[in-house]
Structure 1
Amino acid sequence: MSSPRAVLVTLAEISRLAGVGRAAVSNWRRRHPTFPPRVGGTDTSPQFSMTQIESWLRDNGKIKKSAEREWLWPRFDALGGRDETGAAIAEVGRRLAGEAGGEPQLDADTSPLIDASTRPLIEQAVELGRREGGLETFEFLLRRWLDVHVRQIATTPQQLAALMAEFALGPALDVHEGGDALTVLDPACGVGHLLTAAAQAADGARSDGAEIRLLGGDRDPVLAALTDARLRLSGTGPSVDVQATDSLRDDPFADRPADVALCNPPFNEREWGYEELATDARWSHGLPPRTEPELAWVQHCLARLRPGGTAVLLLPPAVSARRAGRRIRRSLLRTGTLRAVVALPPGCAAPHSVSLHLWVLRAPVPGEETQGGGRLLLVDAASRFPRDAPREALVDWTAIGSFLREAFSGPRVLDEATPAPLPFVRQMPVIDLLGEDADLTPGRHIAPLPQDTALRMAASWKEFAELAAGVGTSARLLAALDLSAASEDTPTATTVADLARAGALTLRSGQQPPDGAVREGLSPEEGISLLTFSDLLSGGEPRGRLTPEDLAAFDAVVAEAGDIVVVGVARNFAAWVHEGSPIALGPQLYSVRVQPEQLDIRFLAGSLRAPANVRQAGTHTTSSSRIDVRRLQVRQVPLEEQRRYGEAFGELAAFERMVRRAAELGTALVRDLGDELASGRLVGR
């Protein structure tokens, strides 16, 4: 058991706690001699005692009622390790659920992690939950805990969980008898994202008030306790039974068949119980090899379904193709148990770099004719929505959801004998998939329709021709520039620092957001994009957003349209005029805002990005060195001459953009045209 430690907070955290910008906190520290001294950290990144800060803020009337929840999290985070903090949050949820009539369980599983010194903090959180809403307070603490331990705890994104629940519950609700409770099982529930989505989907889909029973299991008692409290606090009114157990080795629900199974199982775990479970009755399609734990979870879910029940699992793409699992895949196909395989775009869930697969399965009905001569629905959403996960911030869940619903729609599309009419969707005869490898990867079996390829190539050729014309025009203008003129009086150069001191420009350095502030899945109306140096390394598209509250909390630097953005690292040194919506900047990025009556924006941007500036403003000789942006040089010339040079710099920037886009299009056209010629589609003349 970790003993509680002193709670330390940074300036950014103080600003969040007080509900003000970071600049305001810096001003308080500078102007008020009574402001608490730093007790840790460094002069540039000081840390303060949270107790002293809270006392000072209260004495000076600077605590906002709306920020009360924020004061809870640093105290929970200071409890110790992941388990101690998670157990305390689970206890808060358990207490609040009990007051709401949720009959919470699992107290014995987590209480050893909670000592007497933690109880006052739990009481404080419970009291806040009574005032501001139990579920809201619990979800706030849970979200912060998950943000801190994001690399240790795999979760299913809310939008993906909702889609999985929708596709699983749709068939179940159609055939379910109203007299019995609809039972949903997640044998590896984590913190309950899938079960929560199932409860919400079932509650919204049914109007007869039928009971929904939720069964969950997880071998981590802290995760199980969090799921139990979360489901009981959700307000949907389902019957809940969450057990802290390893479902493969010790299944607590073997005697309670489910109508629906949802699962995002652990990936690539070799120690899943291969030896002790070798003769288990669940392996009706064959003993899963030691290297195929995901196929053990597939068969476990099937074994716990009622006849005709539906299972949807999120699996790594290798499960569809590894040779070790081909025998089990063939059996799932022959029996008609596996109904659909969906390849999702990268970035939909962790690990974000790969295209994860959804498997949709149906438990056989005794006496039902075998579907070995049927078809398997293959959906290649990864090709339909091509994206490089590190390059793009947001998954377009609305478009993906609409596409998948259309792929699964129609009169029993899973059993239809006619091919699906959608591009990137195919109902493939099972007999064609029972080859040597039984590879079920959708992309290997779905080729773009010729008419779709023709339309895409026609649009690409049109854009390429326009770019070629634009490049030609721009090239003639740039080639015509007279660069031979030499002046005996070479204009002196000044630096960004000198221009800033003279008031000709304002230079601001991007900030590191606090932990948990950057969020994915927000719409443009809900937050502003955050551009980081990592985004630029992987293509330039921001991956996360910040809410207005988060922006204010750490005094974020926001580049508006017309500002210059400068990258302060030698290997990716760049400077450009930002266009479009405002964007927040992370560390190693800088915003330059000019006084237009003193500086031409295009002249300044072009001068700053000159390669010579990298050589003279770099702090070291290596490509990974930082650029001292204040040392970047600019020639001192009259405003009229700046504008003349600004026009040339603007044309050069446009030429660069067109050349890059033409290269991208040319590569894609070469690839598509090569495929078309190899397919024999060249019409003879």
Structure 2
Amino acid sequence: MSAHDAVPVSLAEIARIAGVGRAAVSNWRRRHDSFPTRIGGTDVSPQFSLAEVEQWLRDNGKLADIGGRELLWPRFEALGSRNESGLAIAEAARRMRSSRARIAHPELSPQARDLVAEAARVGREEGPRETFEFLLQRWLETHVRQLSTTPPQLAALMARIALAVRLGPAQGGLTLLDPACGTGHLAAAAVQEYDSPGLEVLACERDPALAALTAGRLDFLAEDRGIRTRIATADTLRDDPFAGAKVDIALCNPPFNERDWGYEELATDQRWTHGLPPRTEPELAWVQHLLSHLKPGGTAVVVLPPAVASRKAGRRIRGSLLRTGALRAVVSLPPGSAQPHSVSLQLWILRTAPDGGPAAAPPSQNALLVDATRFARSGTREPSPDWDGLGSFVLTAMAALDQVDQEPPQGAVRVPLLDLLDDEVDVTPGRYAAAAAEPSRKELAGKWDGFGSLLTDLADHAQRLSALDFEAGTSQTTTTVGDLVKAGALTLRAGQQQPDPAATARGAAVPLLTIADLLHDGTPSGVVPTGSAPAVAEEGDVVVAGVARAFKAWVHEGPPTALGPQLYILRVDAEKLDAHFLAGCLCAPANGRQAGTHASSSSRVDIRRLQVLQLPLERQTVYAETFRRLRAFEELLTASDSAGKGLVSDMSDRLAAGGLTT
């Protein structure tokens, strides 16, 4: 118990443990003299004893619905070492599946071993896989600056590409290789995307903690599915643990810009069939390593920095990859697709000859270059892709890879090898796809027609709204959301931080909307398992964003959507309130200002203080219709602005290309 006593926790961690907001914990601290005293930190960021906090929460009935996972994580974090905490989580995963499992990591400290036993007990009670994924996600969040992981959406896209592009049936099942697996995001995605039996996964990672966590993750995924896994801890390029193995697909997100990759000792390695990679081109060593492991017709998808497509030092190898048909396609991703998030990374799609004979250029004598950078989400502080649009576009482009008579979608272009095999051998998609994406006369005419229709609708709404008249000097009675809740006219529910990562959700799921999504484009960016979210907006509910920088209210339409922190559901009694009337009253800017704290743009808005007109239901309907028209006018303004800017861009491209007749 003494080790437990020594574990410090912050106010934010206490809030997570209790399943409440940090403000609630601060209130407990002020209102209850019995709340544990600070044992460390500062007045601004105090720390408390985990044991004392747990006891206080239990004594005050604050842990009724919270499991033991939240209490586990601070103890793992208190181990201090990234490696020891990672190995301890992996060891706990093994013990969750089998209480008789032998210790695989004897170097763990006695404190870590005790924690492993406790975590295994909690996992067997609350769900082994869910507990492991919870601890793994917390570990990744804590050490995010020391790790480079593949986002689950990108991992899933890479797996789908590889499965779609691979030629021929897999004999006796499918074999997958990830030679730089990290914590297993790519391998896990492939397991989830491949539904047929007989999958074998070969994965390698030089960091023992990461390799152990990959093994834990894949062992859970492999349960009851007949999946075989082999996870090795080694430096793949220098000491390949799977030398001679041939696989159907390979996925890889290798380390970038590593000069010490083994250039001297590997100078005569037989894998370099396209040429010895220069010391400054380790990524091309990974490319050839993947190709050396592919079966005939096998496919590899690898994440690479954009400079690999054009650097002078690698042009000879790029030329060989093109001439032999090994490099089939290059996809430029939007910034934010993976670390480093500020860079537009690329996917290289590689494939070996299907007959097992000498590789040769494809019959079409071209490569598919895909510029998907336009799928970046606008209006965001941090780069972030529109994953749904990106995935659909890239997979549509890949469907045209081997179909010479099928035209690739706009933004993708088949480039003849003769055009690529020049002095630079530059395979950057934007260099070729931009010219191919110039709109035709018919497309431009269609865009102008669409823009004109938008302006017509906008003028119609403007005419109707401008005709509205308001009585002078009248003061209408108002009430508050809080009073309406007390009167039973509506119910109020608050969104919360989800306990499980959306990316690892399996089975039935609902979209997850967060404040960050609203600041982007309003599209939910995650999912959560059905039944796990405390607040799910249904058709007709009013949703309110309770933070100043994103304050808005609207009537939810479409499928059920889970809400994250600082988002609220107002479910009205239809006999007392019109939902569109309520949303219109709430979203008035003056309403948000008077109910906010005014401290900063990130200040919260007190939802219960928002004002609502007091009107009979029949009058609410009139207001509701006008509010709807006002929202439609706003949407048309936004659409017109976007369409107008797009036309300016398209017209500029066409004018710069010449051919003007008048």
Aligned partners of 1:504 and 1:598 also within 8 Å: no
- The answer to whether residue 247 in structure 2 is matched with residue 259 in structure 1 is yes
Hey, what does 1:368 align to over in structure 2?
358
Hey, what does 2:646 align to over in structure 1?
668
Measured against aligned partners, the alpha-carbon deviations of 1:72-127 in whole angstroms (never above 9, x if no partner) come to 555545543432221012223445678899xx99x3xx432x11123233234445
Q: Distance in 2 between matches of 1:197 and 1:564?
A: 33
Q: Distance in 2 between matches of 1:480 and 1:155?
A: 56
Q: Distance in 2 between matches of 1:404 and 1:382?
A: 10
Hey, what does 1:295 align to over in structure 2?
284
Distance change (3 Å), C-alpha of 1:400 and 1:36: farther
Aligned partners of 2:543 and 2:556 also within 8 Å: no
Structure 2 unaligned blocks of 5 or more: none
SS in 2 for 1:438: coil
Distance change (3 Å), C-alpha of 1:134 and 1:637: closer
Q: Distance in 1 between matches of 2:476 and 2:170?
A: 82
- The answer to whether residue 409 in structure 2 is matched with residue 423 in structure 1 is yes
Pick aligned residue for 1:540 from 522, 533, 557: 522
TM-score (norm 2): 0.75
Aligned partners of 2:256 and 2:282 also within 8 Å: yes
Hey, what does 1:209 align to over in structure 2?
none
- The answer to whether residue 527 in structure 2 is matched with residue 526 in structure 1 is no
Q: Post-superposition shift, 1:586?
A: 4.6
Hey, what does 2:185 align to over in structure 1?
193
SS in 2 for 1:339: strand
- The answer to whether residue 544 in structure 2 is matched with residue 565 in structure 1 is yes
Residue identity opposite 1:579 in structure 2 = H
Q: Distance in 2 between matches of 1:661 and 1:228?
A: 48
Structure 1 unaligned blocks of 5 or more: 207-211
Q: Distance in 2 between matches of 1:43 and 1:578?
A: 39
Aligned partners of 1:511 and 1:585 also within 8 Å: yes
Residue identity opposite 1:262 in structure 2 = A
Aligned partners of 2:277 and 2:285 also within 8 Å: yes
Q: Distance in 1 between matches of 2:356 and 2:253?
A: 28
Hey, what does 2:635 align to over in structure 1?
657
Q: Distance in 1 between matches of 2:230 and 2:505?
A: 32
Q: Where in structure 2 are the equivalents of 1:606-685 lying within 5 Å?
A: 619=597, 648-676=626-654
- More displaced 10-residue stretch of structure 1: 333-342 or 41-50: 41-50
Hey, what does 1:476 align to over in structure 2?
463
Residue identity opposite 2:348 in structure 1 = W
Measured against aligned partners, the alpha-carbon deviations of 1:112-146 in whole angstroms (never above 9, x if no partner) come to 2x111232332344456678886666455435544
Q: Distance in 1 between matches of 2:123 and 2:570?
A: 44
SS in 1 for 2:388: coil
Measured against aligned partners, the alpha-carbon deviations of 1:400-444 in whole angstroms (never above 9, x if no partner) come to 685256234xxxx2xx7x464332454432121023432223343
Pick aligned residue for 2:425 from 430, 433, 438: 438
Distance change (3 Å), C-alpha of 1:56 and 1:644: closer
Distance change (3 Å), C-alpha of 1:680 and 1:349: same
Aligned partners of 1:510 and 1:588 also within 8 Å: yes
Q: Distance in 2 between matches of 1:646 and 1:239?
A: 59
Distance change (3 Å), C-alpha of 1:397 and 1:191: same
Q: Distance in 1 between matches of 2:531 and 2:142?
A: 19
Hey, what does 2:148 align to over in structure 1?
154
Q: Post-superposition shift, 1:7?
A: 7.0
Aligned partners of 1:505 and 1:592 also within 8 Å: no
Aligned partners of 1:345 and 1:383 also within 8 Å: yes
Distance change (3 Å), C-alpha of 1:362 and 1:648: closer
Q: Post-superposition shift, 1:641?
A: 7.5
Distance change (3 Å), C-alpha of 1:195 and 1:166: same
Aligned partners of 1:419 and 1:426 also within 8 Å: no
Q: Distance in 2 between matches of 1:277 and 1:163?
A: 35
Aligned partners of 1:562 and 1:578 also within 8 Å: yes
Q: Post-superposition shift, 1:203?
A: 8.0
Q: Post-superposition shift, 1:301?
A: 2.7
Q: Post-superposition shift, 1:188?
A: 0.8
Distance change (3 Å), C-alpha of 1:522 and 1:63: closer
Pick aligned residue for 2:232 from 243, 254, 264: 243
Q: Distance in 2 between matches of 1:560 and 1:182?
A: 43
Q: Distance in 2 between matches of 1:239 and 1:610?
A: 58
Q: Post-superposition shift, 1:52?
A: 7.3
Hey, what does 1:120 align to over in structure 2?
114
- The answer to whether residue 355 in structure 2 is matched with residue 378 in structure 1 is no
Hey, what does 2:497 align to over in structure 1?
513
SS in 2 for 1:154: coil
Hey, what does 2:451 align to over in structure 1?
464
Q: Post-superposition shift, 1:221?
A: 0.9
Distance change (3 Å), C-alpha of 1:322 and 1:503: farther
Q: Distance in 2 between matches of 1:621 and 1:226?
A: 43
Residue identity opposite 1:529 in structure 2 = L
Q: Which has the higher contact order (CA 8 A, sep 6+)?
A: 1
Distance change (3 Å), C-alpha of 1:667 and 1:75: same
Pick aligned residue for 1:579 from 539, 556, 563: 556
Residue identity opposite 1:527 in structure 2 = V
Q: Post-superposition shift, 1:238?
A: 6.1
Residue identity opposite 1:656 in structure 2 = E
Aligned partners of 1:285 and 1:299 also within 8 Å: yes
Residue identity opposite 1:6 in structure 2 = V
Aligned partners of 2:302 and 2:348 also within 8 Å: yes
